[in-house]
Every structure is written in C-alpha cells, then in structure tokens.
C-alpha cells in the first residue's frame, strides 16, 4: 500500500502530468498522420526523455503510444488511410461505415473501445504480469512458427470476396518479405546488386504506399473533383456507442483478451493483435456476410484489441526485459538509461515505480476519451478542406513518413512503387490486406521454420512435439479444415434436397 501511495505521488508531480499532457497531444498528431507510426512517435520522443525524470519519461512514452494507436483510427475511418499499421485491419470496415453515413458511430466506437481496451490491458498487466510472462517466455521457434501460421491462415479469411485472389495477394506479400539479407541464412536475396535492397523492402514505406498513395492516385485519376468526402455530421460522437457496447460486449471482451495475449507475446504487437482480432470476430460472427460492408462488430473487437495489446506488450518487457513489440523495444532502451532495469528484480527493488507505471497507463487511457473527442472534432475541420488541397498535403506527410521510416529516399521510392501496385491490385479486385499481413508475418514464419528445422535436424514432427506448439497447430488445422467441412456439408445438403 505504501508503494502504491509512493507511486501515486510520483505520477501526480506537476512535471509528470505536464509531460503526459504534451506527449498525449504529440502522440495524437503523429498517430493521426498516415504513415507516421506509434513506434516512430516513440523514437522521436527518446531524445526528449534524456531530460526527464525516470517516471516522467516513462509516463510520456506510455501516453504517447496509447494516443498514437487510437489516433490511427481517425484517418482510417474518415479517409481510408490508417494512421498507424495497427489500424489497418479494420480500415476498410470503418471507411465503409463512413460511406454509409455512420462516421460518428465508427469514431465514437474507436475512442471508447480503445480506452476500454487500454484499461483492460493495464489491469491484466497489473494482475497477471509475472504469470503471463512465464507463459510467453516458454515460446520457442516451434510455437512462433504456428503463431505465424495462424496469422497467415487468418489472412486468407480477411481476403474478402475471392479467396483465390486473396491467396495471390498473400503470396505477393510473402515474396516481398523475402527481399534482402535479413533471412536465417544471412544471404542477400533479390537484391540485384542494390545496397538499398539488401536492407529489404521497408514495411512501413510499403504500407503507406499500398494504403495512402493508392488512395491519392485513385483521387488523381478520378474525374470527380469531390471524392469520398465524409459526411460532416453533428457532434454526437458518443451517441449510439452505448447501444454498441450493450450489443457487442462479448466481442469487446474477446478483443481485449486476444489483444492482451498477443501483445504479451514477444515480437507481436498492436498491429498483429488487430488483424487477428478482426478475423476472429468475423470467424465467430453470426453475420459474417456483413463484414466489409460497414458493420461495427469487427471494429469493436479489433479496436479493443490493439489498445489492449499495448498493455500486454509491457508484460514481457518489464518482467524479463524482452520487448513485446517495437514500441516497448524503444521503451526498454530508455528504462535502462534511467536505471529502471527491466527484470524480475524491478518488482522487488522499485515496486513504487511499477505502480507508477501502471497508474500512468490508467491516466493515459482515461485522458483518451476527452482528447480523442477533441482530435475527432479537429479532424473534421481538416476534412472540410477541399480534397484538392488535402490530397497533396497527405502526399507530403506520407513522403515525410516514408522518408523517416528509412531515413532515405529509397523509402519514398518504395512508397511510390507500392502506391502504384496498390492501385493496380484494387482495380483488378485483389485485396491489399493479405499482402500487408504476409509482409509482417513472412519473415517470422520463415525464421521460426528454419530455426525449428535446425534444432530438430530437419525432423518435421518436431514442430508438434511441444505441448503449446501442438495446441497451436491443432487450432491451425481446425481453421484449415473448416471451409472444407462447410463446403462438404453444403454439398451434402444440396444432395439431400435433390434426392428429396
């Protein structure tokens, strides 16, 4: 109890509160600008943390990342451009709601369920940190292989109308992911003698291209001058959210749980959590047909998941010093510099710091509701700007983002190339999402498979000889067989009707 009070004192210092306030605004702006990721916001914050007290620095980083992950939803909903990759999973869905005139409802759901997800993740972090980290830390390459396989499998479900085109898109993403030297053998692949390609194709730049540049190009290529301007509705952002909560609370809860668990797995963060939560939601929905048409169910689940993942990611980071995602990788660097070395001893030596970090999480997620409301209001104003002015501005921000992602013009070139690719894919009915997911999971899939094979001397059975790996494998196999079973059953049904 003493430690809790001391923690509260640390958080309630004026300088800490001011830092949280400013970092929140910074996080909202960076998150709302398509192409600038939450990780980038954190990296930009690192030099500032040099001048702050330890808890103040951590508070600023927590607030900044939570706000950035939520803020990514706003341009995703209003303009079909996810502000951060964590919003990409349900961008199409949220934009469809905007087209149906339900932008307010979509944004209201985003802000409220993001905040709830964030608080849920925090509570799990506080209660179950040591236990959950124990589980996650037992994951070896075998478990990771099946986890990546699960993600790849889910990508096939995200692939909307035509599964075949979805798989083509998936394979394209996997191919892109093979470029460069960051493969298990450390050999350059598909580099054509270019130093830039040795580093691989930057995922962030490619994603900005596929999502944002394709949109700008589509606008430029369309004859209409006013395109997809979201309906400027009244201020009732939170109207209808209560009804959503009443109707979809099981989905929100499941999204929170999925997000926290995935967040706590080292390496998998908010973006993977959102993808998996979205496809889980679709998989188990009573109305899967409505997905993709502006249906809030999947949004509720995945927007809950990505913010819950933030709290989850801190679990292995704090307990073992193993980053849960790219954001906490930056945080761990700062923690070391501030003498708050992550590890089990942190809980023994600095319990007050632990409580302070937890409290900052709660404060940041509560602040998200008023701040999110303000951002949505401001975003509306930005969107009343004519598209002819907005699009070049977006292009500018995207260019800055792609440059910042790689610190080189090659990132901008990548972005533009993928913009053209995204445009072509959409024109011909190939979904973009599976390609993006494959780019994230491809390296993980390859690395975990090769490492597993090295460990087992090429014995494939080794992939299912550990209990958790076998469990994950079983889930994958069930997911693979479901469509087959369904189509067989359908055929049987048709057969029976024909006979009858």
Partner 1 sequence: MTSNFRSDRRRFLQQAGLAAAAPAALLAPGLAHAAWPERPVNVIVPWGAGGATDAIARVVGIEMERDLGKPFNIVNRTGGGGVVGHTAIASAAPDGYTIGMATLEITLYKLMGLAELTPASFTPIARLGFVPGGISVSANSPYKTLQELVNAIKAAPAGTFKASGVGVGGSWHINAGGWMRAVGLEPQRLRWVPSQGAAPAYQELLSGGIDIVTASPAEGRALIEAGRVRPLAITHSERVAMFPSVPTLKELYGSDWQMSSWMALVAPAGLPRDITARLIASAKKAQESKAFSDFLTERGFVKVWEAGDDLARYLTQFAAQMDPVVRGLGLVKA
Which positions touch partner 1 (CB under 8 A)? 43, 46-47, 50, 137-143, 180-182, 184-186, 188, 193-196, 198-200, 202, 266-267, 320-323, 329-334, 336-337, 339, 341-345, 406-408, 447, 450-451, 454-455, 457
Provide, rounded to whole angstroms, the least separation between the CB of residue 188 and partner 1.
7
Provide, rounded to whole angstroms, the least separation between the CB of residue 454 and partner 1.
5
Cα dihedral 317, 357, 312, 299 sign? negative
Cβ-based nearer residue to partner 1, 178 or 182: 182
Cβ-based nearer residue to partner 1, 329 or 398: 329
d(CA 468, CA 308): 23
Provide, rounded to whole angstroms, the least separation between the CB of residue 341 and partner 1.
6
Provide, rounded to whole angstroms, the least separation between the CB of residue 186 and partner 1.
4
- Closest to 182 measured CA to CA, from 192, 190, 173: 190
As given in the structure block, the two tokens for residue 250 are 């099981």
Cβ-based nearer residue to partner 1, 168 or 417: 417
Cβ-based nearer residue to partner 1, 42 or 436: 42
Count of beta carbons in the 10 Å neighbourhood of residue 1: 6
Provide, rounded to whole angstroms, the least separation between the CB of residue 447 and partner 1.
7
Provide, rounded to whole angstroms, the least separation between the CB of residue 443 and partner 1.
9
Provide, rounded to whole angstroms, the least separation between the CB of residue 195 and partner 1.
5
Cβ-based nearer residue to partner 1, 76 or 188: 188
Say which residue the tokens 């090659």 belong to.
410
Buried b / exposed e along 171-208 (16+ C-beta atoms within 10 A):
ebbbebbebbebbeeeebeebeeeebbebbbbbbbbbb
d(CA 369, CA 366): 6
Provide, rounded to whole angstroms, the least separation between the CB of residue 401 and partner 1.
15
Cβ-based nearer residue to partner 1, 14 or 193: 193
Do 354 and 206 form a contact (C-beta atoms < 8 A)?
no
Cβ-based nearer residue to partner 1, 11 or 129: 129
SS (H, E, C) 261-296: HHHHCCCCCHHHHHHHHHHHHHHHCCCHHHCCCCCH
Provide, rounded to whole angstroms, the least separation between the CB of residue 260 and partner 1.
19
CA-to-CA dists, residue 58 to 63, 318, 389, angstroms: 9, 12, 38
Do 431 and 291 form a contact (C-beta atoms < 8 A)?
no
Cβ-based nearer residue to partner 1, 275 or 320: 320
Cβ-based nearer residue to partner 1, 233 or 451: 451
DSSP per-residue codes, 445-459: HHHHHHHHHHHHTT-
Do 48 and 416 form a contact (C-beta atoms < 8 A)?
no
CA-to-CA dists, residue 480 to 154, 155, 463, 475, angstroms: 10, 12, 17, 9
Do 152 and 170 form a contact (C-beta atoms < 8 A)?
yes
Cβ-based nearer residue to partner 1, 334 or 395: 334
d(CA 364, CA 362): 5
- Closest to 262 measured CA to CA, from 305, 317, 303: 305
Provide, rounded to whole angstroms, the least separation between the CB of residue 105 and partner 1.
37
């Amino acid at each position: 109890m003493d430690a809790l009070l001391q923690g509260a004192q640390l958080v309630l210092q004026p300088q800490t509160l001011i830092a949280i306030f400013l970092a929140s605004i910074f996080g909202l702006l960076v998150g709302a600008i398509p192409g600038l990721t939450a990780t980038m916001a954190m990296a930009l914050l690192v030099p500032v943390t040099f001048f702050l007290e330890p808890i103040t620095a951590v508070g600023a980083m927590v607030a900044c990342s939570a706000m950035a992950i939520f803020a990514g939803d706003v341009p995703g909903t209003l303009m079909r451009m996810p502000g951060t990759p964590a919003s990409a999973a349900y961008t199409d869905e949220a934009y469809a709601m905007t087209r149906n005139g339900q932008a307010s409802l979509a944004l209201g759901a985003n802000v409220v369920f993001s905040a709830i997800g964030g608080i849920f993740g925090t509570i799990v972090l506080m209660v179950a940190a040591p236990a959950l980290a124990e589980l996650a830390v037992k994951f070896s390459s075998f478990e990771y292989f099946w986890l990546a396989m699960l993600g790849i499998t889910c990508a096939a479900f995200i692939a909307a109308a035509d599964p075949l085109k979805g798989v083509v898109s998936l394979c394209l993403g996997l191919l892109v992911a093979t470029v460069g030297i960051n493969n298990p053998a450390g050999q350059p692949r598909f580099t054509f003698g270019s130093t830039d390609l040795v580093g691989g194709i930057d995922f962030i730049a490619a994603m900005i291209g596929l999502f944002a540049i394709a949109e700008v190009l589509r606008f430029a290529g369309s004859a209409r001058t006013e395109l997809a301007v979201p309906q400027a509705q009244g201020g009732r952002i939170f109207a209808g959210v209560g009804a959503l909560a009443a109707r979809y609370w099981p989905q929100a809860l499941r999204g929170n749980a999925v997000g926290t668990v995935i967040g706590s797995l080292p390496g998998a963060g908010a973006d993977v959590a959102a993808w998996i939560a979205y496809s889980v939601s679709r998989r188990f929905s009573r109305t899967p047909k409505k997905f993709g048409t502006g249906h809030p169910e999947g949004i509720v689940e995945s927007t809950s998941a990505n913010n819950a993942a933030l709290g989850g990611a801190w679990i292995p980071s704090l307990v073992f010093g193993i980053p849960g995602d790219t954001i906490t990788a930056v945080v761990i660097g700062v923690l070391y510099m501030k003498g708050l070395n992550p590890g089990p001893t942190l809980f023994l030596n600095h319990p007050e710091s632990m409580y302070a970090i937890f409290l900052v999480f709660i404060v940041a997620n509560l602040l998200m509701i008023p701040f999110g409301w303000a951002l949505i209001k401001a975003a509306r104003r930005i969107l009343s700007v004519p598209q002819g002015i907005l699009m070049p501005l977006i292009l500018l921000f995207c260019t800055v983002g792609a440059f910042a992602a790689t610190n080189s013009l090659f990132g901008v070139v990548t972005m533009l190339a993928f913009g053209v690719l995204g445009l072509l894919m959409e024109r011909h009915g190939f979904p973009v999402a599976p390609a993006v997911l494959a780019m994230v999971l491809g390296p993980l899939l390859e690395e975990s498979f090769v490492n597993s094979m090295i460990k087992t001397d090429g014995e494939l059975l080794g992939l299912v000889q550990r209990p958790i790996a076998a469990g994950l494998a079983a889930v994958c196999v069930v997911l693979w067989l479901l469509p087959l079973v369904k189509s067989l059953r359908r055929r049987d049904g048709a057969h029976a009707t024909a006979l009858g």
